[in-house]
Amino acid sequence: MKNKKLTLIISLSLIFAFILYFYLHSTQNLAIRTHVFFTAGPKLAIKTKAFKMDNYTYNKYNEIEYSEEEGEIYQITKPMRFLLVKKVNNIYIVKKIE
């Protein structure tokens, strides 16, 4: 009986984590805020603003060039960074551009 309860709790926790992951990466804005939350903290995740940049403008001022197929570039204000947001299947993946 105790083993069944433990199995049920673990199974429900994994299902909840899986659904939460897909929800937090369902839109570009949520994916960016989730990335900032885990890298810079919850306070900055709430305060920061994300602006979509044109890839041409970014490529004009930086050494590394990104095409539209690779993803969209966003600039966040606090901490000042550039992020590459890609859509993979139904979720958005955020990668910091260095």
- The number of distinct structural domains making up the chain is 1
Q: Which long-range contacts (CB under 8 A, 24 or more apart) does 69-77 make?
A: 71/95, 72/28, 73/97, 74/28, 74/32, 74/50, 75/50, 75/51, 76/32, 76/36, 76/48, 76/49, 76/50, 76/51, 77/48, 77/49, 77/50, 77/51
Structural domain of 14: 2-97
What does the pLDDT look like over 36-85, one tens digit per residue?
Answer: 999 988 998 888 898 988 777 777 767 777 777 778 889 888 778 888 89
What does the pLDDT look like over 42-56, one tens digit per residue?
Answer: 998 888 898 988 777
